[in-house]
Each structure stands twice: as C-alpha cells, then as structure tokens.
Amino acid sequence: MLTFNYSIWILVLPAVMFLVLGLGGKYMKPVVSGVLGTITMAITTVLAYLTAYQYFFSVGKAADGTYKAIEAFNFEWLRFTDTLHIDLGMYIDAISSMMLIVITTVSLMVHIYSLGYMKGEKGFQRYYAFLSLFSFSMLGLVVATNIFQMYIFWELVGVSSFLLIGFYYTKPSAVAASKKAFIVTRFADFFFLIGILLLSYFTKTFDFGTLTAVGAPCFSSFAGASFLGISAISWTMFLIFMGGVGKSALLPFHVWLPDAMEGPTPVSALIHAATMVVAGVFLIARLFPIYLFQTPEVLHLIGYIGAITAIFAAVVACTQTDIKRVLAFSTISQIAYMITALSVSGYDGHDGLGYMASMFHLFTHAFFKALLFLGAGAIIHAVHSNEMDDMGGLWKKMPIANWTFLIACLAIAGIFPFSGFFSKDEILAAALHHDIVLFSILFIAAGLTAFYMFRLYFRIFHYENKQYHHAPHDAGPSMSIPLIFLAVVTVVAGWLIPFDTLITADGKAFESHIDPLVAGLSIGIALVGIVGAYVFYFKKNEKPDQVATSLGWFYRATHNKFYFDEIWMFATRSIIFKCVSKPMAWIDVNVIDGFMNGLAYVSHQASEAIKGFQSGRIQQYALIYLVGALVLIVTFCGWLVAFITK
C-alpha cells in the first residue's frame, strides 16, 4: 500500500517558494519569478491530485466501503498538559482531499493567468511570493489535523489576504480595504479563538479525529455547564462558527468582502471567490458531527443566518454597478448557500444530502466563480474600468471572454447541464426535505442569482455599443487558457464527479438522484430570472430606471448595501471609539502614563535637589565632611556622657 509521505511536499513547496520569491525576488527578473512560482504550483497541483486520487480510489476506502480519515503524519509541536497538546500534521479525508484539488487547481489557474494580467506591474515578484504564501496557508488550513493548527493557518490566510488586497499599497482605497478586511476577519477570529479555548478546556483535546467521532465521549464534560441560560457547548460551537462568519463573509461580517475587490482581480478570483472565503464552510463541514449531534440548535441558527445572508446579498447584487462588486455579493450569497445546505443535513445515508450538496456546491462554485472573476479581470484589463457603464457590446470584440462568461453565468444560475445546476439542485432538494422556510428563501435567492448574473452578462456583453478609446480584444494565451480550462471544468464537473459516493457526512456512499420537482422548479425560477434580465438589460432602455424610481427608498437602501457599512461605521466610530476607546485612551494617557511620568518627575526632582552635592569642589566636600565629622563627634560624646552618668 502506498503511503502519503509525499503529501508533505504539498505544503512545503509553496512555503519554500514564498521564501525564495519573498527574499530573493528582487534579484530575479519578474518573468523568472512568475514562471518559478507557476511551476512550483503546478508540481503542487500534481501532488494534490495524486493524493486525492490515491485517497479516493485506493487507500481511503475501508473494507466496509466507507471513507476513513487518514493522518498522513503528525508530530507534536507544543504540549500543554498530559492530554492537551498542539500537533502539526496532515489529515487527509474526503473533504480535505477535495479542497486540495480545488485550491491547487484554482491557484494554478490564477498563477498562469497572472503572468499575463500582472505583466509589467511594479512588485510582480512580491505578488507571486504572496500568492505562494496564500496557497501554503490555505492548503495548511484544509489538511490541519487539529483545530489549533487550523487556527494558525486560518490567521495566515487572513494575513496573506491582507497583503494581497493591499497589493497596490500606494492607492489609499486599497490600503483602507486591506485594513478593513484584516480587522473585520480578525475581530471574528477573536470569537473563534475563544471558542477553541472553551472547546479544548472541556474536551481536553484539539484533535479533529477525536472530536468528530460519532458519539465522542469527550463532550460529557460539557454537561451542566451553562452561561446566560444557554449551555456551554452551544456557546462554544456558536463562537467557533463566528470565526467562519468572519472569513466566509456572512451577515453581519460581510462588509469586508466587497471592499476586498480593491485587490488585483486574479487575487479576488483566488481568495475572495474560490478558496479563502469557503474556509468558514469548510470549518463547519469539518466539525459537522459536533454541530449535528451536540448542538443541533446552533446548526439551525447557522442555517437561518446563511439563508438571510443569501437573500440579502442577492438583492444587493442586483443594484451594484461595479462588476467586481456584483461578483463579490454573488460570492457572499453562494457561500451562504453552502452554509445553509450544511444546516439542513443529517448524517446517515440520504439524510446527509445537505452535507454532500454543500461540498458539491463548494467544488463547483470554486470553479465557476473563479472563471467569472478571471473573465471579469480580462474585461477590466481590456476596457480599463470596473464600472458597467463603461462597458457594453463586448460580445463581438472579446469572444473567448464572452463564451466563458456565459458558461459561468449559466452555471451559477443553475441551468442544466452546467455544474451549478447539479449542486444547487441538491441543496434545494435537501432544504425542501428539511425546512420549507429555508427552502423558500433559497429558492427566491436562486431566481435573484439568475437575474443579477444575467444583468451583469447583458450589461457587459450586449446592452449598447460603446465606443472605446482602445478597441478591446481578448487577452493573450496566459489569460485565455485558464478561462477555457475553467469553462470546461464548469461544464463537466456537475455530472462527471460522483459526489454522492465520494464525499458524504458519514463516509458511506449513498444514491442521490435528481428530484424532478426541485429540478423543474429551480430551472424554472432561473429562467424567470434570466428572462427578466433579458427584458431589462439586453438592449438599452428606460425600464431599469423606471423600476428603480418606483421602488424608491427600497432601491436606495439596496444600492447602499442596506447601510451595513454605515451601521458598522456608526458602531465603531460613535460607540466603540467614543464610549470605549476614548475613556481607555484617557486612562492610558492620564492614569498609566501619569503614574510613570510621576515616577520620572519625582526622581528627576530628587536628583535635581541633590546633584548640587556633587560639585567637584574639594573645599565644599571638605566642609561637608567636617560638619559631618563634628556632628558625629558631638553625638558620640553626648551619648558617651549620657552612658557614663547613667
């Protein structure tokens, strides 16, 4: 039997490449560093495919046909107590193998694409170094053997996202966006950390293997502990979920994701569409047995947060005019879909449809969303603008972008036989069997998705014939090849990969089939959305403006993203800054610094007072000596007299 020893190179290669490019990049020609990074990523991709292939088809399957997790290796890094220790290692199971494929594939595509897109940019080497760092962190995150290792890489992902969003560090908006992304996700990670600490405090372990075993005994110590009337384990799992809320941009922590579009577009494709933002979904999936068996009420809550986010982001996406922002809100909406799918899942057999559907959607979404972003990048590259108003009628000028974008739009809208149809259909089927409210919300969101995606498509490629300064044209091969590759994957991924036998909650294969009712409904609403978009946006007309005017305040609220940014601004500026930070700053300046300054002042004054003694004048010293000697003598004599006369 083959072993997974080589799989460590999946982590080592990008890490080494980050160091090489980060430290030695400035001594290389830009193109050398780009090609070097791309080749390394290609090798990593091959290794990841090998690992996944081996796991799924030879090693992973136990005798009874279920997929068991394998620890490729594991070593102890920090030991706290006899039972509690942080390990570093590689944990290979169905979902991490799948994530390996997703991350390395999208990352490789982005590496290739960036060779063309970022050509001639200042800091090209730095860009590739950061890409490698990001790939390393994300791969480390998905293969983490324990929740603490996951947290470490989780933060690394946050850092590399920060670095890449702020890549154009001379642009104030990019700097602000990178800070916002980092602070918002870091704020959420704070809850995640508390959750991890609580979890490890009660269960005495970080290990995923121990934690996610069915009927794990380690949760017995939670019994009876509660806080504010809610049991400790619910708090714990909710806090851990908060970390996922931050990274996966669910309400109310979604505010960073649209702004993160300030980064280079391939980065948006890699980080803010395909890989990093699904970290939250991955986290819930990884801890799914705990959520399901220990805290079903939290899982329920997660479902509702997800569904509300899905519909909210879909509505907002309908009114945005920056094409990358539309895609950003679409990402928020789709991620929320996956989260909701997890919440409507059971564990065994067909009951676990939601889990499988969620992972399935994660997989397909990664490819078509990366395709959409890379396509958007090609368009932005060609017309030098992010705004829809500067585009239109591009379908003749950029045929490759047109067709690949159309395929991706069809996929995300859920049209048969593109990959999005299959995964979305499974999600809707799972939701229908579980919770009709969630189903209805997701169903409406699906229609909206089709509408805003085709609004985007028609506005870019049809609408009106714009006059451009430079005639836009398809980009060179390094940008077109990834588009075509991803388009092919988007077309075939849905029916080629048997997710129901490979990735399931309990590891056992089950038979999933397309529910004709759900499939019909979802295609129906998608078509309604597409037709709506066609009516409004295929040719330039007055209808969109009329509708916008008739919707009045609702349109304005939507256009302003329901004022979430303003609410957060108010919360931070007016409440946190004024009521918490200002008093704390006052205490810092006046009490803490005041105490220190006081000490310094006292010793300064004391030294001022006595420094006159050290004048260097012998005569003065002598006088003091004399006076001192006389005082001593007089005292001694007085004492002597008193002693004798007593």
Partner 1 sequence: MGEFITNLLNNTIPIELYLAVTTIVFFVGVYGFLSRKNMIMVLISIELMLNAADINFAVFNRYLYPGQLEGFYFTLFAIAIAAAEAAIAIAIIINIYRKVHTIYVDEDVSKMKY
Footprint of partner 1 on this chain (CB under 8 A)?
616-619, 622-623, 626
Q: What six digits make up the tokens of 600?
A: 């310094």
**Full DSSP string of 570-610:** IIIIIIIIIIIIHHHHHIIIIIIHHHHHHHHHHHHHHHHHH
Q: Give the three-class secondary structure for 378.
A: helix
In the complex, the smallest distance separating the C-beta of residue 599 from partner 1, rounded to whole angstroms, is 30
Query: Phi and psi of 88, rounded to 5°?
Result: -120, 140
In the complex, the smallest distance separating the C-beta of residue 623 from partner 1, rounded to whole angstroms, is 5
Enumerate residues 6+ apart whose C-beta is below 8 A from 12. none
Alpha carbon distances (Å) from 169 to 20, 242, 262, 640: 22, 29, 10, 83
In the complex, the smallest distance separating the C-beta of residue 603 from partner 1, rounded to whole angstroms, is 24
The residue among 584 and 630 lying less far from partner 1, judged by its C-beta, is: 630
Report the C-alpha gap between 558 and 560 in whole angstroms. 5
Quick one: which H or E segment has residue 399? helix 399-413
Enumerate residues 6+ apart whose C-beta is below 8 A from 98. 52, 359, 362, 363, 502, 503
In the complex, the smallest distance separating the C-beta of residue 635 from partner 1, rounded to whole angstroms, is 20
The residue among 552 and 612 lying less far from partner 1, judged by its C-beta, is: 612
The residue among 579 and 622 lying less far from partner 1, judged by its C-beta, is: 622
In the complex, the smallest distance separating the C-beta of residue 600 from partner 1, rounded to whole angstroms, is 26
The residue among 579 and 629 lying less far from partner 1, judged by its C-beta, is: 629
The residue among 535 and 630 lying less far from partner 1, judged by its C-beta, is: 630
Region at 504 (left for phi over 0; alpha for psi -120 to 50; beta for the rest): beta
Report the C-alpha gap between 185 and 276 in whole angstroms. 11
**Structure-token match 């008093």, residue found:** 583
Q: Which amino acid is at 124?
A: F
The residue among 567 and 622 lying less far from partner 1, judged by its C-beta, is: 622
Strands (E), 252-359: none
Strands (E), 58-143: 70-79, 85-92
In the complex, the smallest distance separating the C-beta of residue 611 from partner 1, rounded to whole angstroms, is 13
In the complex, the smallest distance separating the C-beta of residue 627 from partner 1, rounded to whole angstroms, is 10
The residue among 576 and 630 lying less far from partner 1, judged by its C-beta, is: 630
In the complex, the smallest distance separating the C-beta of residue 633 from partner 1, rounded to whole angstroms, is 13
The residue among 613 and 643 lying less far from partner 1, judged by its C-beta, is: 613
Report the C-alpha gap between 451 and 454 in whole angstroms. 5
**Full DSSP string of 528-544:** HHHHHHHHHHSB--SHH
The residue among 563 and 625 lying less far from partner 1, judged by its C-beta, is: 625
CB-based contact 473:358 (threshold 8 Å): no
| Count of residues making up the chain | 646
The residue among 120 and 612 lying less far from partner 1, judged by its C-beta, is: 612
In the complex, the smallest distance separating the C-beta of residue 619 from partner 1, rounded to whole angstroms, is 5
Report the C-alpha gap between 432 and 427 in whole angstroms. 9
In the complex, the smallest distance separating the C-beta of residue 617 from partner 1, rounded to whole angstroms, is 7
CB-based contact 369:269 (threshold 8 Å): yes
